Amino acid sequence: MGGNRNTVADEKPHAVCVPFPAQGHITPMMKLAKVLHSKGFHVTFVNTEYNHRRLIRSRGSGAVAGLSGFRFATIPDGLPPSDADATQDQEALCYSTMTTCLPHLKKLLGGLNNSADGVPPVTCLVADSIMSFSLDAAAELGVPCALFFAASACGYMGYHSLPFLIDEGLVPLKDKEQVTNGYLDTPVPQALGMSKHMRLRDFPSFVRTTDRGDIMIEFVLHEHQQARRAAAFIVNTFDELEEHALDAIRATLPGPVYTIGPLSLLAEQLVLDDGKLAMIRPSLWREDHSCLEWLQGREPRSVVYVNFGSITTMSSQDLVEFAWGLASCGYDFLWIIRNDLVKGDAVVLPPEFLEATEGRRLLASWCEQEAVLRHEAVGVFLTHCGWNSTLEGLNAGVPMLCWPFFAEQQTNTRYVCMEWGVGMEVGDDVRREVVGDRIREVMGGGDMGREMRRKAAEWSEIAARATTQPGGRSLANLESLLKDVLLMGRLPASNKA
């Protein structure tokens, strides 16, 4: 199995979890790690050194001290040292992790397998699907490695479509003007496993390049190919939501595919009785708990909740347009504004806006989003449609207004609006009139808003059945994943499949 110890029958299986070092990837991997711990695994959760420092600043050293059988470890990300409290450049981070992290992970695994403080030997790796160098580390150790896709199944097939889009001559763009001249509205109904409503603009944002050698195009193609080597492929979704895309994934990958989502519901059920484990939270920003207090006492479905996630940046002009759209909508609103939300500049809101919305708004830097979305006062979610946020909105039965920014958020938006019937687009070009009108459309009780709320409530019920009720497909898939893949590393070599 690697190392110089043999696994004995009474030792726990040991899973090493390796998320991509961004908040939207760390969050679901932490939920999966908690699920594994609740199932009897010793867990080592691997942060980058940069993000571990951020986690300590946001949560305190006690939050990362670990508990029995759940520990944190770190590896460098290969980028220049920084103590900034902001999301790192994603392009640089992708290239750096792909090219520099493997030897550091190997060294960490060797140390775990030669530990003298009672840590059981590593029996499996669960790595983010874009940290595929983990496959090489696991192979050297002789243990299975499952890849965890932190985004949607439709997003995965959007990435899978890149070679098709290149072969069709749709990507790369011929010139930069095609981003704004209507070219992105070209229908692409024939992409494998995708909605028939797809336009070029609905594929992951990396298609919007004029450079065939663009680093993100090359990164996606490389990581996508590596996925074929995994012992298993894990997706944070549920079968009923993305059946068509999941069928396509299963047809294109040689290994088994396990849907175990929504992980937030699955983790909540399985770790409900473990208070210490529930207290381990992966937020890289300090959460403002006044948000929940502010919601108390407000009428049901009377508040607009606005959060563009951990990576989105916008111009000062877009910020102002959103602000006046919220001011004009007539409803109370809770707006999460990170200190790095405005690209290359400070966040500055007009004094007139602050005066006009006094008493009906709360501005905060971060919050416990799942709790906010579940609060009965929240009536609509203005979101970037990252997959965690999209699932959390579906779980809570809250309609969405969508302003995607990056990666497969564009694909999620198209599905939210056209396939799942729970959202509307704000549009790339932010206009205050459109923002205000969209909010009133959903909140004001019109036919479209009522239908969106009905569909959102329906998806919420289906998600709960998949993860919290006996016979739920995600629950059953989790048990199969453990038995057929993640526990195989405990067996003698002669008994392995």
Q: What is the mean pLDDT of residues 140-145?
A: 95
% of the chain beyond a pLDDT of 90: 78
Is the predicted pLDDT of residue 263 greater than 70, yes or no? yes
For residue range 404-446, list pLDDT tens digits in order.
Answer: 999 999 999 999 999 999 999 999 899 999 999 999 999 987 8
Inter-CA distances, 233 with 168, 224, 226, 412, Å: 28, 12, 11, 20
Among residues 14, 25, 37, 160, the one annotated as catalytic is: 25
DSSP character for 415? I
Looking at residue 304, what is its pLDDT? 98
Distance CA 237, CA 260 (A): 6
Strands (E), 385-452: 400-402, 423-425
At residue 30 the predicted structure's pLDDT band, cuts being 50, 70 and 90, is: very high
Is the predicted pLDDT of residue 347 greater than 50, yes or no? yes
Distance CA 393, CA 388 (A): 9
Is the predicted pLDDT of residue 66 greater than 70, yes or no? no
For residue range 45-60, list pLDDT tens digits in order.
Answer: 999 999 898 888 877 7
Inter-CA distances, 372 with 78, 121, 276, 323, 392, Å: 36, 40, 22, 20, 10
At residue 65 the predicted structure's pLDDT band, cuts being 50, 70 and 90, is: low
Is the predicted pLDDT of residue 303 greater than 90, yes or no? yes
φ, ψ dihedrals at 39, nearest 5°: -95, 10
Distance CA 282, CA 51 (A): 10
Residue with tokens 């050297």: 140
Q: Structure pTM?
A: 0.92
For residue range 285-298, list pLDDT tens digits in order.
Answer: 788 889 999 999 89
At residue 275 the predicted structure's pLDDT band, cuts being 50, 70 and 90, is: low
At residue 8 the predicted structure's pLDDT band, cuts being 50, 70 and 90, is: very low
Q: What is the mean pLDDT of residues 237-254?
A: 96
Nearest CA among 320, 266, 264 for reference residue 467: 266
Looking at residue 3, what is its pLDDT? 42
Is the predicted pLDDT of residue 35 greater than 50, yes or no? yes
Q: What is the mean pLDDT of residues 279-308?
A: 89
C-beta of residue 102 within 8 angstroms of C-beta of residue 137: yes
**Catalytic status, residue 128:** yes
Beta-sheet pairing, 378-383 with 257-259: unpaired
Looking at residue 47, what is its pLDDT? 94
Distance CA 74, CA 352 (A): 46
For residue range 213-242, list pLDDT tens digits in order.
Answer: 999 999 999 999 999 999 999 999 999 999
Q: Is the dihedral of CA 381, 383, 385, 389 positive or negative?
A: negative
Mean pLDDT of the chain: 91
Distance CA 288, CA 336 (A): 10
* Crossing angle of helices 102-113 and 90-100, rounded to 10°: 60
* Bridge partner list, 381: 305, 400
C-beta of residue 402 within 8 angstroms of C-beta of residue 383: yes
Residue with tokens 């070599």: 493
For residue range 366-395, list pLDDT tens digits in order.
Answer: 999 999 999 999 999 999 999 999 999 999
**Catalytic status, residue 318:** no
Distance CA 413, CA 453 (A): 16
Among residues 52, 104, 128, 224, the one annotated as catalytic is: 128
* Bridge partner list, 145: 125
Residue with tokens 């939300």: 341
Q: What is the mean pLDDT of residues 465-492?
A: 87
At residue 9 the predicted structure's pLDDT band, cuts being 50, 70 and 90, is: very low
The number of beta carbons lying within 10 Å of the beta carbon of residue 354 is 13
Is the predicted pLDDT of residue 62 greater than 70, yes or no? no
Looking at residue 1, what is its pLDDT? 40
Is the predicted pLDDT of residue 497 greater than 70, yes or no? no
- 5-14, 95-104, 217-226, 339-348: segment of lowest average pLDDT: 5-14
C-beta of residue 18 within 8 angstroms of C-beta of residue 159: no
For residue range 78-135, list pLDDT tens digits in order.
Answer: 998 876 777 788 899 999 999 999 999 999 999 999 887 889 999 999 999 999 999 9
Looking at residue 268, what is its pLDDT? 85
Quick one: CA torsion of 386, 388, 389, 394, rounded to 10 degrees? Answer: 120
